[in-house]
Amino acid sequence: MPAYGNWINGREEASGATCETLNPYNQQPWATVAQGTVQDVDRAVRAARAAFEQGPWAAMTATERAALLRRLGDIIKRDAQELARIESTDNGKLYKEMLGQWQYLPEWFYYNAGLADKLQGDVIPSDRPNFMIYTRHEPLGVVGAITPWNSPGLLLIFKLAAGLAAGCTFVVKPSEHTPVSTVELARRIHEAGFPPGVFNVVNGPPEVGAALVGHPGIDKIAFTGATETGKKIAAQAARNLTRVSLELGGKSPNIVFADADLDVAANGAVAGIFAATGQTCMAGSRLLVQQDVHDALLDRIVEQTRSIKLGDPMDPATQMGPCANEPQLRKVLEYIDVARQEGASLKYGGQVDPALGGLFVQPTVFANVHNAMRIAREEVFGPVLSVIPFKDEEEAIRIANDTRFGLAAAVWTQNVHRAHRVAHRLRAGTVWINAYRVVSFAAPFGGYGESGLGRENGVDAIREFTETKSVYVELSGAPRDPFKLG
C-alpha cells in the first residue's frame, strides 16, 4: 500500500504511529498514513510562523506569489485525473464528480493569483491639513485549516488559494477518514516552488485538531464541518482571540412553485440531494412543493430515485456511491428510523441496499413531512429527501426560513418576478433560481445563522485573510506640542 506522512517545513515525514485509510466502496485498507502528535502540531506552526515572518516567502512581492499560484494551478490541471482517482478511493465519491472538481480547481488559483497584487489600500482625505492618511491590507499570519471528509481537496482550496494570495502560511489538519489528497496536494505545492513552511500538514485524530485550534501561534482557524464542532472550535479559539471562519451545516430548502417546469425541477431535486450521496453541506434536503403540483412532482422524483444506479465509484455508469464511513452510515440509518417514528411516509429506500450491502444506503424519499419533524430540522448528511407541501408564496418563505441554518436555497418557477422576490427574502448565503448545487471561484460562499461565519471564494475571501492598517504621515515637519492630539 502507498504510505503517506505528515508534511512539515517542506519535507514529508514518517512517524512511529500510522493508521490505514479505508476505501468506502469495498471497506478495504488502501493506504497507510502517519499519525501526528501535539508536538508535530507545534513544529508545524513554528515552521509556518518562521516562513511568514522571514525567508523567501516573507520577502516575496504579491506578483511573485501570484506566479507560484499560477504554477500550482497548472500542476493540478496536469494531475487532475490522478488526484480524482485518489480522492474517490479515499471518500467513495464518484470518480467522474471528483474529476470534474479537480479539473475546475485550478481556476481558484488563477483567480486568486489575479487578486494577489490588487489588494490596494486607500488614501483617505484627512481632516488635518498636515497629515496624509492611507491604508494597507496586510496578510493575517498563520492559518490553521481543518477540513472534512466529503470534499477534502475542494474545501481546502476554497481557503488555501485566497490565503496564499494574501501572503498567509498554513497548517492543515485533514479529516482522519480522508487525509491522502491533502498530502498529495502538499507534494505538488512543493513541486510548484513554494518555500518550506508555507504549507504544512499534520494528520491524525481529533486531538490533533484541538491542539491546532488552541495553539497560540495560530492567527486564524478556517474550518469546514459540522455545526456543533464549529461551535466548539469557536469557543476554544476565543481563548486566544484567534479569528475563525466557519463553513458549517445546512438544511437547505429547494422550493418548487406550481408554474415550474416539473421535469426540470425533478432533475434538480434529485441531483440536489442524491449527488455525492447527500454528503454535502448544501444538499437540498428539504423539498418544498406547492400543493397544486405536489403529487405530480413526487411521482416524478420517486420514479427517478428508483432508477439511480448504485455501485463502484470508479464505474462511469454509477450514479451514487457509498457513505464515506461506517459512523456516517449509522447516522443516516438512525435518522431514517426517526422519520418513520415521527410519521413521515416512506416512498422509496430507507435501508442498506440489499444487493450491495456494506456502506451503501438506498436513496430515500419521505413524504408527509412537516417542518417541525427532526428529519426536517436536523442535518442528516446523507441521501434522505424530505418532501414538504406548501400553499402559497408566503407559506413557502416562512417554512424555508424556519431553520437554524442558512447555507443555500433554490427557487423553481417560470415567473421572473417571483423568482427574484423570493430569492431576496430567503435567509441563505446562496440562492439558485431554476438550478441547484453550482459554485464558482468568483462568487462568495458561506451561510447565515448556524451555517457559519465568513465567506469563501470571490473577492470577499481574500479579505478574510488580511489585516487593515491605517498609516498617518505628518507632512509639515514642524515641532508639535507633545500634549496635543493631532
Based on the fold, state whether residues 225 and 296 are members of the same structural domain: no
Q: Domain with 264 in it: what CATH number?
A: 3.40.309.10
Q: For the residues 141-147, what does the mean pLDDT come to?
A: 98
Residue 247 annotated to the active site:
yes
Which of 87, 176, 184, 247 is an active site residue? 247
Based on the fold, state whether residues 302 and 227 are members of the same structural domain: no
Domain count, the chain: 2
Based on the fold, state whether residues 267 and 174 are members of the same structural domain: no
Based on the fold, state whether residues 257 and 241 are members of the same structural domain: no
Burial (CB < 10 A; 0-12, 13-18, 19+), residue 417, is exposed
For 265, the grid coordinates are 425541477
Q: For the residues 28-40, what does the mean pLDDT come to?
A: 97
Based on the fold, state whether residues 289 and 410 are members of the same structural domain: yes
Q: Is residue 475 part of a domain?
A: no
pTM of the model: 0.96
Burial (CB < 10 A; 0-12, 13-18, 19+), residue 484, is exposed
- In the predicted model, is pLDDT for residue 324 greater than 70? yes
Q: Is residue 288 part of a domain?
A: yes
Residue 281 annotated to the active site:
yes
> Could you tell me which residues are beta bridge partners of residue 452?
247
Q: Domain with 218 in it: what CATH number?
A: 3.40.605.10
- In the predicted model, is pLDDT for residue 479 greater than 80? no
**pLDDT class of 174 with cuts at 50, 70, 90:** very high
pLDDT, tens digit, for every residue of 203-236? 999 999 999 999 999 999 999 999 999 999 999 9
Q: Is residue 419 part of a domain?
A: yes
Which of 281, 379, 456, 464 is an active site residue? 281
Q: Is residue 479 part of a domain?
A: no
**pLDDT class of 483 with cuts at 50, 70, 90:** confident
Based on the fold, state whether residues 258 and 141 are members of the same structural domain: no
Residue 461, CA distances (Å) to 57, 121, 366, 376 in order: 21, 16, 37, 31
Q: For the residues 244-264, what does the mean pLDDT come to?
A: 98
Q: Is residue 440 part of a domain?
A: no
Nearest-angstrom CA–CA distance, 151 and 101? 9
Based on the fold, state whether residues 227 and 108 are members of the same structural domain: yes
Least Cα distance to 335 among 357, 359, 320, 351 occurs for: 351
Based on the fold, state whether residues 207 and 338 are members of the same structural domain: no
Average pLDDT, the chain: 97
Q: Is residue 476 part of a domain?
A: no
Nearest-angstrom CA–CA distance, 486 and 480? 9
Q: Is residue 94 part of a domain?
A: yes
Written as one letter, the residue type at 26 is: N
Please provide the size of the chain in residues.
486
Q: Is residue 478 part of a domain?
A: no
Which pLDDT does position 486 carry in this prediction?
A: 61
Based on the fold, state whether residues 213 and 263 are members of the same structural domain: no
- In the predicted model, is pLDDT for residue 482 greater than 80? no
Find all residues with CB under 8 Å of 437, minimum gap 6, and list them.
271, 272, 275, 280, 282, 284
Based on the fold, state whether residues 225 and 325 are members of the same structural domain: no
Which pLDDT does position 243 carry in this prediction?
A: 98
Based on the fold, state whether residues 346 and 462 are members of the same structural domain: no
What is the dihedral sign for C-alpha 304, 306, 307, 312?
Answer: positive
- Domain span holding position 311: 253-433
Nearest-angstrom CA–CA distance, 141 and 401? 37
Based on the fold, state whether residues 234 and 300 are members of the same structural domain: no
Residue that is written with C-alpha cell 460562499 in the block = 445
Helix (H), strand (E) at residue 138: strand 131-139
